[in-house]
Amino acid sequence: MEEPSTSPLPAAFLDFLKENGLDPSIYSATDSTPRYVRLKPGYKADVEEIEDEIKCKLEKVSWLPGFYSLPPDVQIAGSHAYKTGKIYGIDAASGAAVTALDILPGNHVLDLCAAPGAKLCMIVDLLDGLGSVTGVDVSQHRLAACRTMLQKYALGDICRLFVADGATFSLTPVNVTSESKFGESTLEDSVDRLREWTSRKSWKERKKTAKAKQTVSAELVQSGQDPELIFYGLKSGVVGFTKSEIYRSPPENELLSYGYDRVLVDAECTHDGSIKHIQKFESWGWTSFQRRVLDAERTDNLTVLQLRLLANGFRLLKSGGILVYSTCSLTVAQNEDVVEQFLKDNASAELQEIEVARNWPCKSGGIPKTLRFDPLTSQTSGLFVAKFLKISGIKKRESRG
Ligand SMILES: C[S@@+](CC[C@H](N)C(=O)[O-])C[C@H]1O[C@@H](n2cnc3c(N)ncnc32)[C@H](O)[C@@H]1O
């Protein structure tokens, strides 16, 4: 039996903070950190009604359009507004990371670590029905939760979701090369074109799922396995295409023209910036916390994964496109060190100032232009954010003189 913790922060976590040079006082305001909701566009007129229902005022977040804060103890999950998708819970720092992407309607966006999907929903809202979103996650059950969320908020139309390893995912956005795709196919395969997505599975698929359930490791996609398309909306560019057209990986040089306009790499991390996540271990057990968060070998593997995710997301970005890298860890190893190594490896990556961040309540990261949100400074969950532009290598050398 584990000893119940008396301190708000367990000793093991304090050691972790010390080892990583992080000041524990950033968590001192955790109990008063508000919770945040985003109002689905089009429901502004319903704010008063929502306030009446949850018996609490929705305070506008002055620096983030569409966001409202609530006292931390207010429950929204049972409310009609939540159940009908008028509001959804998303931390303001997460909203900031999505805002940094400068999304424009019509953009083709890749979300490389998409589940459970709060940021993906916000991305879809910002696209206003134009463009597409490709969500990728290695975890089947987490991505299934993302699919449920898209359906609940009626946001699935322009989305497709793949269970895949984001470090090797290679599919380009839909529609961009649609003419050439159709051009390559023959009349014979018109019968194989994908129809509207349905949750009803064919006998073959049911058999495959049942088999996968027998193996625990099958829940996470294995490296080298084909991406599994688990959802697509009517306007996501999948309907009417054949599988081979959708699964076509273009040559590397085509990516500069036909890659994604925007890529979000909200990478897997130790989640140490999210005290809510850390506190879950109170019930899960601090022994598993040691194993799942603090283990040095796991952290080393994580930083390798983060760099691979970032590099692959950037590879899939078109020239002139924007990538945002974020983690809810506050360690230098998972943030600034990853960014530094990535910039060394990628001559066409230019770290960008996040212009809209001028009035955001956050600090600069250890590398100029990067940002750090923490509970004390920002009244949000902890988050690191870095924004990159993809330029041509030649231009970068010129601009450095
Ligand atoms: C910080 S969470 C993402 C949160 C999500 N962006 C959101 O806003 O709800 C990190 C995610 O990365 C996923 N992940 C871990 N390894 C991955 C990999 N190799 N490829 C893709 N996703 C991965 C995890 O399953 C997890 O869902």
Cis bond leading into 65, ω under 30°?
no
pLDDT, position 398: 45
Tally of CB atoms within 10 A around 311: 17
Q: What DSSP character marks residue 84? A: T
Which residue minimizes the CA distance to atom 15 of ligand 1?
268
Q: How many Å lie between the centroid of ligand 1 and the Cα of residue 16?
A: 22
- Ligand 1 centroid to 305 CA: how many Å? 11
328 in catalytic set:
yes
Divide the 401 residues of the chain into consecutive groups of 10 and give the mean pLDDT of each group: 52 87 87 91 93 94 97 90 92 98 97 97 96 96 95 93 96 63 49 79 62 53 77 92 86 91 96 80 70 71 96 97 97 97 97 97 98 95 97 56 34
Answer yes or no: is 125 a known binding residue.
Answer: no
Q: What is the pLDDT of residue 107?
A: 97
Alpha-carbon gap, residue 304 to 176, rounded angstroms: 31
Strands 228-232 and 363-364: unpaired
Residues sharing a CB contact under 8 Å with residue 199, sequence separation 6 or more, in sequence order: none
Mutation choice for ligand 1 from 119, 138, 304, 325, CB with most ligand atoms inside 8 A: 138
Token pair belonging to 1: 């039996």
CA pair distance 349, 202, nearest whole angstrom: 44
Listed in order, strand segments (DSSP E) in 237-355 are 260-266, 317-327, 349-352
pLDDT at 343: 98
**What's the CA-to-centroid distance between 114 and ligand 1, angstroms?**
6
The helix, strand and coil proportions of the chain, stated in percent and rounded to the nearest 5, come to 40, 20, 40
Beta bridge partners of 323: 263, 388
Name the residue at shortest CA distance from atom 19 of ligand 1: 165
pLDDT of residue 381: 94
Task: Please tell me the predicted confidence (pLDDT) of residue 8.
Answer: 67
Q: Same fold for the domain at 11-32+92-399 and the one at 34-89?
A: no
Superfamily for 34-89?
A: Sun protein; domain 3 (3.30.70.1170)
In this structure, what token pair is assigned to residue 308? 């691979």
To the question of whether residue 266 is assigned a binding role by annotation, the answer is yes
Q: Which residues pair with 373 in a beta bridge?
A: 383
Is ligand 1 within 6 A of the CB of residue 266? yes
Give the per-residue pLDDT at 6.
44
Task: Show me where the domains of the chain are located.
Answer: 11-32+92-399, 34-89
Helix (H, G, I), strand (E, B) or coil at 102: coil
pTM of the model: 0.89
What CATH number was assigned to the domain covering residues 11-32+92-399? 3.40.50.150
